Homo-oligomer: A and B are copies of this chain.
């Protein structure tokens, strides 16, 4: 069993080893990697760890209820992540591909909505901006909705 949150690079291979098995013929993987938007060089991820782990456990329990034949694992990386490296990986293995795709997609959508995790973009010029969920940078402290 792997940790849900890690400060190290994510090993998709290890996640796969956790969920694959001889009766599961379809595996769907999703990886989110840090994108080079404008002059972003890396993103610093921080979390409310205890709550994030609780939410992940609930998400995986919901996934298991909806697709009992699927096995799903996810790992979210925290700390400074350079462009091109993965911030999250989700692996869903199931006897057939429908369940593998559906379970994997369900988890990433829930992650985006529920996980108490935040991104701070680091720019080439040394400045940093917090990212809001719509993907727009938040410059000051008063621009929340």
Contact = CB atoms under 8 A, between A and B. Distances in A.
A132 B144 CA distance: 57
**Interface size grouping (class) on chain A:** 20 to 34
Copies of this protein in the assembly total 2
Interface stretch (A1-9, A55-63, A95-103, A121-129): A95-103
Contact of A101 (B22, B84, B101): B101
B20 A35 contact: no
Nearest to A83: B22
B30 A28 contact: yes
Interface in A1-52: 12-13, 20-36
A31 to B, nearest CB: 4
Contacts of A108: 97
Given A12-B29, A28-B29, A30-B97, 18 more contacts: A12-B12, A20-B33, A21-B84, A22-B35, A22-B36, A22-B83, A22-B84, A23-B35, A26-B30, A26-B32, A26-B33, A27-B30, A27-B31, A27-B33, A28-B28, A29-B30, A32-B97, A35-B95
7 contacts: A20-B33, A21-B84, A23-B36, A26-B30, A27-B29, A27-B31, A27-B33
